[in-house]
Structures are given as C-alpha cells and as structure tokens.
Structure 1
C-alpha cells in the first residue's frame, strides 16, 4: 500500500492549513475559549465555501468529488488547529441535511451515546432527527465542546433517519447509571465507521501538534545552563509522542484507503491513545507551566478526552476487533 501523498493531496492539506492559520490561529482559539463560543458561524460558512463539508459529495451535486483519504487530510489539519464545533456530523450530513454542505447549517449528532449531545445549543439540526430535541446544559471538561442532556422529545416517529438501537447493543455507549432514555435517539450506526475515522483524524492532528509544542518548548526552556531537550528523560518523552502519533497517522491513512470497519476501529484506538497520552506527555515536558490556563496544552488534552468518547469508544472498538479476529480465526 502506497502512503505517499499525491501533489493534489499535499496542496489540499497545505491549503487547509493556511486557511486555518489565517482564520483560527492561537489568538482566535484563545478568544473562543474566553468567549465560550464554540461555533463561529462566519468561519463555518468559509469552511463550507472551501469545500470542507462537501469534500466527498459528487461534483454533479455541487461537491468536490474526493474521497476518504482526502477527508482525513483536512480533518487532521482541523485537529491540529483545535478547531471546535461538530465538524464530523456536519460533514457527514452534507447531501442529507440542507445547508450542511455549504456551511450555512450546523449539524450535530448523537455520537456520544445515550442522552448527551455535543453542541446541541448551537446546532440547527441533529443528524438523523426530524428536529433538534430539547436539552439542558451539562458541564463539559472541554470549554469548547458544550454538552446538553436531552430532556425533550426525540425524532418524530417514523422519520426515515430516526434509527433504532444496533442489534444486540440496545444501550451501546451509554453510561450504566444514566437511567432510562427520556426519548428515542437517532441511531448513528449508519455513519459510525466514517464518523470514527474522521474523529481519529482529528485526534492525529492534535497528537502531532502536541509533539510540535513539546519539542519547541524543550528547545527554548533551559535548566542548569542547557535546553531541557538535551536531557534524556525529555528526549524519551518527545520520541514516544512522535512514535505514537506517526503510527496512528499511518493507521488512519490505511483505514481511509480500505474503508474496512476493523481497520477503522484500530485506527480510532491508536489515535485516541496518541492524542490523550501525547497531551499528557506534553504536559510533563512543560512542567508546572503546562497546567496553567495560559498554556494551550490542557486544551488539547481536554478535547482528546471528549473525542475518545465520540462515535466509537475504546471498549466498542476492542469488541469490534475481537469479533473480527474470531471471525477470521473461525
């Protein structure tokens, strides 16, 4: 399998990086955190105009006509920039929900399992639902991923996109203590594989960015008259971060090419570990400064925690991989 990017793919990635650097750099990120506004409607429309959401729609339908390999490249850049909002759900809704492809409609999904929905208060639509349900705010670990617990009616009965629990997994992804469902929820199963892969790409982008942050800080911060990057312990931390991130990136690229459900599950597992552990190790490189509000490292860690619970959790991915292995062995 050839993982070398084509010239067009490199240009696509560079173009997305330039767009986000100009429109959502560090100052914009910190302004979003301070304001508590996760979705910038103007930027959302600019992403739509750039083809972020319509990337995989056929050209005949107004899309770009590309595939999953290209999608993971642009999502990787979004993860690197810590771009907030229901990016995956809106991308998946292109061609299904009016306005999603152009970025004029913000779409979220029941990708956290059970009654929790991210960005419900900012969304115009919920993937698979006839209308956004009512919900009450729930405190989120990530300041740019607001959560709501659904309290009102779910999708209209008989709505074509209102799904049912996955066979054998009626409460997949729900906390054991969450109590009975207050309403039926749209089943994200038809979108779960692609949603998990795109979320894994976001995690990879975040993991690679924390490597950059750690290496940069290790080269500037001095102790005992020399950069801390000269010390073996710090070198080992940075090297481990890089290995995890690159292995996860390779797995994501491979899964984007094959589209295999088991490979996507493996990619999500590796990407979640790379993003979460990478941010933790980056905090160690930063030392006490990394735990302060002024540093950006904690934002990567908090976002990685939330993404690890979206579309496919570690437990769900492990069960899928185990079933695939048993099926192969049998």
Structure 2
C-alpha cells in the first residue's frame, strides 16, 4: 500500500499552511480569543472549505476523503488553531451552517466538552456540565457527568492529526533554537545531549506520522486508536523535550512551546485516551493470538 502524498495532496497541505498563516498568525496565540474573533476565524475556515472538505461536491462540499482531512488538521495542529474544529467538521452536512462556518458545533468527548458556552450546537448530552479551569488558555472546558459514549474513530483520527502537527512543530522549534542559541561559544545543538534529544523528537514525530497517515487510508478503528496513542505520546513528549532545549524561557508567555504542551494534554484526554487505546490494542492482539 502506498502512503506517499500525491501532488494534489501536497498542494492541499501547502495551501492550508498559507491560509492559516494569514488568518491565524503566531502572534494570535497571545491575544484574547473573544467571540468576535472566533466567529471571523470560523467564517474564514468555512469559506476555505475546511469543514466541508469531505462532503460530496453535489452537497456543496469539496469531495475529498479522510486522508486529505488529516493533512488539513495536521496543519491546524501545527499552529494551535483554537475552537471545536473536529466537531464542526464532523457536523458538516448534518447541522445547518456548520459546513460554511456560520455555526460552531461542539461535542462531548470523553466526558469533556470544549467551547460549550460559545458553541451554537452541541452533539451529546450536556446536562449537569461543570465548568473547569482548563490548563490550556485557548481551550475552555466543561466536564459532563455520566458514562462516556464509545469513541468516534473519525474524531479520534482528526485529533491524532492535530497532535501530529503539534509534534512536528515543536521538533522544528527545538532544532531552530538549538542552532541559534549559543553557550560556551558554540550552538547548543552542537552538544551531544541536545542532538540526541532533537533526534528522538524527530523519530517520535515520524513514527506518529506513519501511523496516522496509514490509519487515514485503512480507516480501521483499532489502527486509528493506535495512531492516536502514538500521536498523543509524540505531542506531549516532544513539547516537553522542546521545553528542555529552550530552558526556562520555554515556559514564558512570549514562547509558544508551553502552549503546545498544554494543548497536547487536553487532546490526550479526548477518546481514546492512552489507557483506552493500549487496552484496545492488547485485546486485539490477544484475540489474534487465540485464533
């Protein structure tokens, strides 16, 4: 099976990166995200076809598939785009106005719901929702009581793609800092400990990339769970390692590194969590061995 990107897929990825650079530049991470800014951002994403990407052309969509959606959400993860992107994307074609970005849709995921107060529509039961103090300043959260519903494979795949984008971004950030920052008259990247840390970040990101891209093609729920497990690990551990490369300045407000770590923590609680994904993998392997 060939998982290499086609020319059209590379063009989609590059075009998405250019779009996000215009509508969500790096400085936006440090500015208040109020309702007006979110509505403008949502309309821009809807106008670019982000939410209608998988809808058939006959229904006003772009007519692409999960593999292309993964590329778009990977780019969203790179820049820490805020808002219930996955939920609104999944609601396109079901909830009026979701495909065009005129309505913001959120969903209950693993007992958590993001952007509840700002959303126009919620998928799932939110009775008794309790506001939480979110570790991520760009992701307001509520906790919903009750037993979580089974995980949605497509939602998990797109969340994994966001984690992958974050892991790749922190790898690039660490390497750039290691090349430019000097200690004892040498770039810190010249020291073996820093070299090994950056190499480990790259390996984790590329392993997660292979798993996410493969799961996007196969659509297998077990493979998607495994891909999210790897992407969650890459996003969290790469952000931590990037902080180590930066030293204490990595957790200052002017740096985006700590924001990647905080967002990775939040996404890691979306289903399947690492524990759930590992259990699913073990059950599947155990069943295969019994056969």
TM range (shorter): over 0.9
Q: Say whether residues 1:216 and 2:176 are aligned partners.
A: yes
The match for 1:315 among 256, 263, 275 is 275
TM-score (norm 1): 0.84
Q: Does 1:112 align with 2:110?
A: yes
Q: Does the 8 A contact of 1:196 with 1:265 survive in 2? A: yes
Are 1:124 and 2:124 an aligned pair? no
Give the drift of 1:136: 4.2
Q: How far off its partner does 1:96 sit?
A: 1.2
Which residue of 2 is the match for residue 261 of structure 1? Answer: 221
Two-structure CA RMSD over aligned residues (Å): 1.8
Deviation at 1:37, TM superposition (A): 6.2
1:21 counterpart = 2:15: no
In structure 2, the CA distance between the partners of 1:251 and 1:38, relative to structure 1 (3 Å rule), is farther
Aligned partners of 1:266, 1:224: CA distance in 2, in Å?
Answer: 43
CA contact (8 A) 1:38 1:84 kept: no
1:1-330 aligned within 5 A: 1-32=1-32, 35=33, 40-113=38-111, 116-128=112-124, 135-150=129-144, 171-172=147-148, 187=149, 189=150, 192-330=152-290
How many residues in Structure 1 have an aligned counterpart in Structure 2?
Answer: 290
Report SS of the residue matched to 1:18: helix
Give CA deviations for 1:95-150 in whole Å, capped at 9, x if unaligned: 1111111111111111132xx32110111111246xx7574431000000101245
Equivalent residues of 2:133, 2:140 under 8 A apart = yes
TM-score when normalising by structure 2: 0.95
Alignment check: 8 A CA contact 1:86 1:106 kept: yes
User: Displacement of 1:91 after TM fit?
Assistant: 0.6
The aligned counterpart of 1:181 is: none
How far, CA to CA, are the matches of 2:105 and 2:183 in structure 1?
48
In structure 2, distance between residues paired with 1:96 and 1:295: 39
Against the structure 1 CA distance between its residues 38 and 77, is the aligned structure 2 distance closer, same or farther, given a 3 Å change threshold? farther
Q: Deviations over 1:18-55 (max 9, x none)?
A: 000111111122114xx566961111111111111111
Partners of 2:157 and 2:142 in 1: how far apart? 24
Does the CA contact (< 8 Å) of 1:44 and 1:103 recur in 2?
A: yes
Assess, with a 3 A threshold, how the Cα gap between structure 1 residues 253 and 38 changes in structure 2: closer, same or farther. farther
| Structure 2 runs not aligned, ≥5 long | none
Cα distance in 2 for partners of 1:54, 1:15 equals 16
